[in-house]
Structure 1
Amino acid sequence: MNQENIRLVKGQQVLNLLEDPAFIERLTILFEESVGTTVFQNPIFIKSWYQTKYSEYLPLIAIDEAGFNLNAIVFLAVKKEPNGTIKRHQAKIVGVGEYDAEYQTWLVKEGDDERFLTEAWSLILKDYPNCKIIFRFVPSFNSLSWIYKNSQWKKVSVIQEYHRPLLQMSHPKFKDVMKKRHLKAKYNRFRRAGKMDFEEINEINRFIEVYDEVMVLYDFRQGALFNKTPSESNPLRRSLFISLFRQDLLHVSVLKLDDVITSCIIGMKSKLWMHLSGLITYSPFYSKHSPGLVHLFVLGKYLEEQGFEYFDLSPGGDGYKERMASNADKVYELTISQDPFFKTKIDIRKKFHALLLSRGVRSMDFNLKVKRSKHFIKLKAKDFKNRIVGKKVKLLQESKKPMDLETNNIKHLLLYNDDLGTSRWDFLSNAFKKVEAGEKFISWADDNKLLFCLWFHETIGNSPDNETALVINEDYYSHPVVAAYKEEVLKTGTSILHSLNR
């Protein structure tokens, strides 16, 4: 392998290569011959991701070829600035897929990793000075072991190990997992709650219908836990998933109770592997039935019947994944940078994460606590500013007053936007806890904000036959713009509840 055979290809030229049938044929052969690859290095995934995310990432590949022979290739992406430009100095370069790909590595014939990568990375670092190159979860340590022996690259690299739980169908403990008492108990309780139905989604229109429905649930949970709504932060993911589904790279299933979707799992699949890397979400209205865990339990059995060998539960340290795992292995995050400050920062993070783990604390949980603390301080500063400066609110005009109250519409909760009230994170977090606890709500919203929300719950009535009754909670939400109609809305909501009680 000679350096003159290795070249960088960028932008539209990369997309042009991926449109060339002869190149795809060679790439597919290399993909199948390479060791330690996953579905995220499949040419179908790579092409779909580059095309979908072109407005956010510049495609970048380092390729080694001699004549018709394709010897090695690494697919990368340079993160674009908000205005679409590329920052040459200190650019962020990621493995293709970034957070849409669980695993990132390179295609190379066995034993050629060091020779190819030393030249490829040298070309990239020369073209993008002080950049940071990040591979999220390299699945094979054999691809990285040479770095520890190479003083030049060891000096600019940080390798961090992560635990990956697996449900392996041929593993001796697979049957033990399927027989776990608490899993079977939750499964039986779910079945007693109503008509249970497991559905694998195989038709594109059904997939789009399900995706749009469950993303509301996903946004609600992510907003409540992490102050993030994926539909807003990653809007192109819908198009990516539709493309991948059409090309048979997604495994999608839902678990229903009385024909209502209670849980959805979207994963990436290859011949023997199913990766829990798309999304897993559930309806908080059914939390007491543990729909997510029951779905994983049912899906594990289903994947075995379909001939899968591995159900990759993915890194993260989540307790429910460990309860479902038959065994585990390791994956590795690789960071490369000649910037000494950034390299030191990553080294410190690695050691701190190891310290947290030694004390039984997940780094994700610690980071979330820090984020919560910063959020609290920011909120207090905002409240202080509002009290000092004051803020006027334009009241809703009479012509804009049509009152359309709905019951248990989570989309309404996601429209919460009140500069004078509690933060969106706190509102969604409290709302999610209420729904999980069994509370329900009546709400009113316009196109861009929640106007009113009245919470209620069921209780046992005083009648001799112990019929349930709906009781209004003391707390309710009213946006300042409908202050003039607050009593009217409250009265209407109460009337609706009385009609439901009859």
Structure 2
Amino acid sequence: MKIFLGEKANDLFKDEKFLEAWDRLLGLCPWATVFQSKEFVLTWYTIYNKYTPILLTDWDGYKLNGLFTLTINNKGEITAAGTNQAEYQVWLSTTEDSYFILKSSLKLIKRVFPNKPFVLKYLPPRSPVEQFNKESKWKKEVILKTHLQPLMVSNEKLLAQELKKKNRKEKVNRLKRKGSLNFAVISTIDEFLKIFDDLIIQSDFRKGAMYDKVTFQYEIERKDFLIRLFELGLLHVSILKLDDEIIASNAGIAGKEMVHLQGINSHSPFYAKYSPGILHFLMLGIELGKSGIEYFDLTPGGVKGYKEILSNCSQVAYEFKYLSPIKVKKELLNEAIKDKLKSLFEGLLKQNYQSFKIAQQFQNGKKKYNLLSKKGLKFFEYDGMNQVFSSRSKTYLTLSSIGKEGLQKGFKFRENKMADLLNFDESMGIITRKEFLFDCMKRIELGHSFFCLMSGNSLCAVLWYIPTNVSLGELSSPQGKSLNSGVMAFSYYQSQYLSVTHCLLYSVIKKVDVPFPVQLQLCSSQTKLKNHLKLRLNV
């Protein structure tokens, strides 16, 4: 095996004979996936050109028996080209040559990159890894873990039956009473480009709320990469629409026999109670069956929740790490500690909201501490956030009328635009982005409408309107107060825009035509906001 780095690898990618041999080897390799195809790999190297190509191969100008396309990720690890967008990471070879190719590659990596870990997550099912379990010498340098790979077999009859189950049928019928419900596969680049930004907003909003990941906001290459994959026929895109509104979607990287849950998937929080994501995935499975695609790969990791609901088949994938003996010992010790802690807290971390909230608060602690450390004592100048599921006590101001002071020049407000919420800047207060987006998501799911005060691209304040027939939230009911009118609440504002909060309140009441009296909800920490509004509104 030889190594080609940087420009030398790029020169080899221009060799037509090499590319033809790559295609042949891909077809001969029993464990190969679309993530090892030249179309996927070369597209990724081109668009993510900040990553150095590392090519391991025995190509001699005529024959190709082994190929490993690699790079160095942001953690300084050697890994597969595509990094976390390559769902399955593996070498290409025939079955007969597989162990020799991998063993030779490991020796070469150790010699050229002696201090760098080599990590593959995940090796696909059928990867030939038996030797690492059989030969004791590898135990000092290799960690091999198994992971469940859940699949949804594209059985049209079975999935149609799943859709007809009582609770799902009811949700479908309720959606149809709201408008025209349609599943569609996106087949042209013009159609895809027209909807792509909406899918990105839905995806980043939910993943930001759940995992603090707003990938498309910071990884500018990802959008271009997925567009190029669509043009190459490697991205299968489908949507579920209610009239003209997309309520669920999936754009998954596709091979010959399966579509992978790798790319982008989303659903609208405004329709969360109808489970549009689950309905869409079942409809997608039926469509894949009609198209002759056998599987929808739900991918390893996080196999509980919706993956467990949708999976009707499974395989085993692997996580592979090639480390120094010292790092292996350290890694195994850390894993043992994690497993012990997981067993201690497994009862706490069940899939329900309250325990999920506790887990998220624990994970959010470090980031919160960092924010407070940067702000020092200045954070006392900020009122805090009125969170829908907060245990803080709530008070209510009754507004019988309101002044007529509209927004000043340079400000605007928009209703129910999730893109505005993604402009939240956690450096402007003591609330983390994840806390903010999670609270917004839960409010939207309850049926609250929101209005964002914007100055340019800066999010200044968020005002919510809660109609009389909508829940205030689990912990937000007023103490001994009967609310016969709609409720409004500022969940967030930047301190420097406190002086215009009453202007936003007036503008929204006028737009929505909220009947008086209006109940304005405030949490116990919003003292500055309360005092300002009392002064300006004479209540």
TM-score range, shorter chain: 0.7 to 0.9
Q: CA deviation digits over 1:441-472, x for unaligned, max 9?
A: 122212332012210022359xxxxxxx9834
Q: CA deviation digits over 1:55-88, x for unaligned, max 9?
A: 1x2110110134511011111111368xxxxxxx
Q: CA deviation digits over 1:324-345, x for unaligned, max 9?
A: 11111111110111161x3234
Q: Aligned residue pairs: how many?
A: 470
TM-score computed with the length of structure 1 as normaliser? 0.85
CA–CA separation in structure 2 for the residues paired with 1:218 and 1:439: 20
Report the equivalent of 1:187. Answer: 172
Report the equivalent of 2:451. Answer: 442
Residue type of the alignment partner of 1:451? C
Q: 2:123 aligns with which of 138, 143, 166?
A: 138
Report the equivalent of 1:85. Answer: none
In the alignment, is residue 30 of structure 1 matched against residue 25 of structure 2? Answer: yes
Q: CA deviation digits over 1:188-228, x for unaligned, max 9?
A: 44334321011111111221221111111111111111222
TM-score computed with the length of structure 2 as normaliser? 0.80
The answer as to whether partners of 2:367 and 2:432 remain within 8 angstroms in 1 is no
CA–CA separation in structure 2 for the residues paired with 1:176 and 1:156: 48
Q: CA deviation digits over 1:346-391, x for unaligned, max 9?
A: 323444565537957699x798564223234445545653258x79
Change (3 A) 1:386 1:403: closer
CA RMSD of aligned residues (A): 3.0
Report the equivalent of 1:464. Answer: none
> How is 1:214-293 mapped onto 2 (pairs within 5 angstroms)?
214-293=199-278
Report the equivalent of 1:336. Answer: 322
Q: 2:182 aligns with which of 188, 193, 197?
A: 197
Q: 2:422 aligns with which of 404, 410, 414?
A: 414
Change (3 A) 1:207 1:175: closer
CA–CA separation in structure 2 for the residues paired with 1:144 and 1:171: 34
Report the equivalent of 1:373. Answer: 365
Report the equivalent of 1:458. Answer: 467
> How is 1:41-440 mapped onto 2 (pairs within 5 angstroms)?
41-55=36-50, 57-79=51-73, 91-169=76-154, 177=162, 180-315=165-300, 316-338=302-324, 340=326, 342-352=327-337, 356=342, 359=346, 370-381=362-373, 384-386=376-378, 401-417=409-425, 419-440=428-449
CA–CA separation in structure 1 for the residues paired with 2:515 and 2:120: 55
Residue type of the alignment partner of 2:420? H
Once the two structures are TM-superposed, the CA of residue 175 in structure 1 deviates from its matched residue by 7.0
Report the equivalent of 2:489. Answer: 474
The answer as to whether partners of 1:33 and 1:109 remain within 8 angstroms in 2 is yes
The answer as to whether partners of 1:58 and 1:78 remain within 8 angstroms in 2 is yes
Change (3 A) 1:447 1:349: farther
The answer as to whether partners of 1:415 and 1:445 remain within 8 angstroms in 2 is no
The answer as to whether partners of 2:77 and 2:116 remain within 8 angstroms in 1 is yes
Report the equivalent of 1:396. Answer: none
The answer as to whether partners of 1:15 and 1:47 remain within 8 angstroms in 2 is no
Please state whether the residue corresponding to 2:513 is helix, strand or coil.
helix
Unaligned runs of 5+ in 1: 1-5, 82-90, 392-398, 462-468
Q: CA deviation digits over 1:413-445, x for unaligned, max 9?
A: 111225235332222111111111110112221
The answer as to whether partners of 1:49 and 1:240 remain within 8 angstroms in 2 is yes
The answer as to whether partners of 1:36 and 1:140 remain within 8 angstroms in 2 is yes
The answer as to whether partners of 2:155 and 2:286 remain within 8 angstroms in 1 is no
CA–CA separation in structure 1 for the residues paired with 2:441 and 2:205: 7
% identity of equivalent residues? 28
The answer as to whether partners of 2:186 and 2:238 remain within 8 angstroms in 1 is yes
Residue type of the alignment partner of 2:494? H
Change (3 A) 1:456 1:40: same
Q: CA deviation digits over 1:151-210, x for unaligned, max 9?
A: 333321111111111112369976765665544443344334321011111111221221
Change (3 A) 1:352 1:188: farther
CA–CA separation in structure 2 for the residues paired with 1:45 and 1:143: 22
Please state whether the residue corresponding to 1:143 is helix, strand or coil.
coil
CA–CA separation in structure 1 for the residues paired with 2:138 and 2:430: 52
The answer as to whether partners of 1:444 and 1:451 remain within 8 angstroms in 2 is yes
Residue type of the alignment partner of 1:402? G
Please state whether the residue corresponding to 2:435 is helix, strand or coil.
helix
Please state whether the residue corresponding to 2:59 is helix, strand or coil.
strand
CA–CA separation in structure 2 for the residues paired with 1:34 and 1:150: 24
The answer as to whether partners of 1:456 and 1:470 remain within 8 angstroms in 2 is no
Once the two structures are TM-superposed, the CA of residue 274 in structure 1 deviates from its matched residue by 1.0
